[in-house]
Amino acid sequence: MLGLFSSLDCSLDVFFVEALLNGVLLAGLLALLALGLNLIFGVIDVVWICYAELVMIGMYAIFYFVQVAGIPLPLSFLLAIGLVACAGTILHYLVIRPVLDQPPINQLLVTGGVLFLLQAAATMAFGIEFRNLGIRLGSVNIGDMSFAWSRIITFAVALGAMILLWQFLTRTYIGTAIRAISQDRQIMPLMGVDQKKIYLATSAIGGGLAGLASCLMVLQYDIYPQIGLQFGPLTFMICVLGGLGNMVGGFVAAFIIAQFITIGGSCVATEWGYAVAFLFFMLVIFVRPQGLFGAKS
């Protein structure tokens, strides 16, 4: 493996280690993105194709709150998380609920319509220019390697959010009900759990996770209407690779994919890193259609 990389003009030196560690930091963000989508799929059995667009809406909301309304950054973050959580609930109520008894593929496509809608709405409201908050957090230097603080914070927060979600799912009544419904959709209503309420709560949590991701992404990335197309396909790939609905699997898959992107990116060119990641994904799914950690259906 290492021999292969060295032949690609990339020996085992500090740059390689730097890329490796940056990959780990990127994996935190990708794992957080995959977590929300996996939660929604596991419980409601619907793939939100527009998930990354919800993140984009959150990023623009933070930009608006800070730059136009002059709200301090931490408060803007909280408002954005709340806003995207509301957006998730509305999405479920208005769009998903009417198609719950249609074929699964229509449920996937209807959220694709929302993708176009949100992207166009963002373009109309903010234009196609790249925008950012101009936050510079600096970086840490370890030897010859340098790591941006924004990436380290992102990784830590993403990890914290995952632990919190796990605690919520195992320690609270709603959390237990959510896990139960993802195991057996038919029995739970008979046990006195209101399915509609659980679906709404799940959508709100999924949206909230997208909102949290948007807070972390404004620290690192420029905001533009098409940013969802950059992160969306990547998120689906991670979810499917880890086994749709399997949150731990998604976490591991995020690490694998992030390594392909950062190491491939630092050895050849960014898009080739992505291309190899997509190719790897297809090959794995051909051999294990249920994903790396999915149960056989």
Partner 1 sequence: MITQKHIAWAIGLAALLLLPLLIRMIFPGTDRYYLHLVIQILIWAFIYTGWSMMGRFGLTSLGHGAFTGIGAYVTVMLWNFAGITPWIGIPVAMLVATIAGMLVGYPCFRMRITGHYFALLTLAFTEFIRLCIIGMRDWTGGSLGTQPTRYGDGLSLYAVQFEPNRVLAYYIVLAVWLIGLIIWVKVDRSMDRYALDAASQDEDAAASVGINVTREKLKITALSSAMCAFGGAIYGQYQMYIGPDTIAGLGVSLNIVFAVIAGGIWSLFGPTFGAVFTQVLAETLRVGLRGSETLSKLLGQSALALDTFIYGLLLVLFIIYMPKGVIGTLGERWKRR
Cα–Cα dist 17/78, whole Å: 35
For residue 82, the minimal CB distance to partner 1 (Å) is 24
If the CB atoms of residues 65 and 236 are measured against partner 1, the closer one turns out to be: 236
> Rg for the chain (alpha carbons), in Å?
19
Out of 66, 218, 237, 261, point to the residue binding partner 1 (CB under 8 A). Answer: 237
Please name the amino acid found at residue 278: F
115 counts as binding partner 1 under rule CB under 8 A: yes
Minimum distance from residue 188 beta carbon to partner 1 (Å): 22
* Member of 15, 147, 285, 293 binding partner 1 (CB under 8 A): 285
- Long-range pairs for 116-124: beta carbons < 8 A, 24 or more residues apart: 118/50, 118/53, 118/54, 118/56, 118/57, 118/228, 119/53, 119/56, 119/225, 119/226, 119/228, 120/225, 122/56, 122/57, 122/60, 122/225, 123/225
233 scored as a contact of partner 1 (CB under 8 A): yes
Contact present, 19 and 266 (Cβ < 8 Å): yes
125 binds partner 1, rule: CB under 8 A = yes
Q: Does 6 bind partner 1 (CB under 8 A)?
A: no
Q: Residue 17 in contact with residue 145, Cβ under 8 Å?
A: yes
Closer CB to partner 1, residue 112 or residue 160? 112
Residue number with CB closer to partner 1 (116 or 130): 116
Q: Which residues are CB-contacts of 21 (< 8 A; sequence separation ≥ 6)?
A: 145, 147
Nearest distance, CB of residue 198 and partner 1, angstroms: 21
Task: Tell me: does residue 119 bind partner 1 (CB under 8 A).
Answer: yes
Shortest spacing between CB 285 and partner 1, in angstroms: 5
Place of tokens 């603080």: 149
Q: Please list the alpha-helical segments (H only) found in 127-226.
A: 149-171, 173-183, 187-190, 195-220
Piece in contact with partner 1 (CB under 8 A), picked from 135-143, 171-179, 197-205, 229-237 = 229-237
Q: Which residues bind partner 1 (CB under 8 A)?
A: 47, 95, 98-99, 102, 104-106, 108-110, 112-121, 123-128, 225, 229, 233, 236-237, 240, 244, 269, 271-272, 274-275, 278-279, 281-282, 285-286, 289
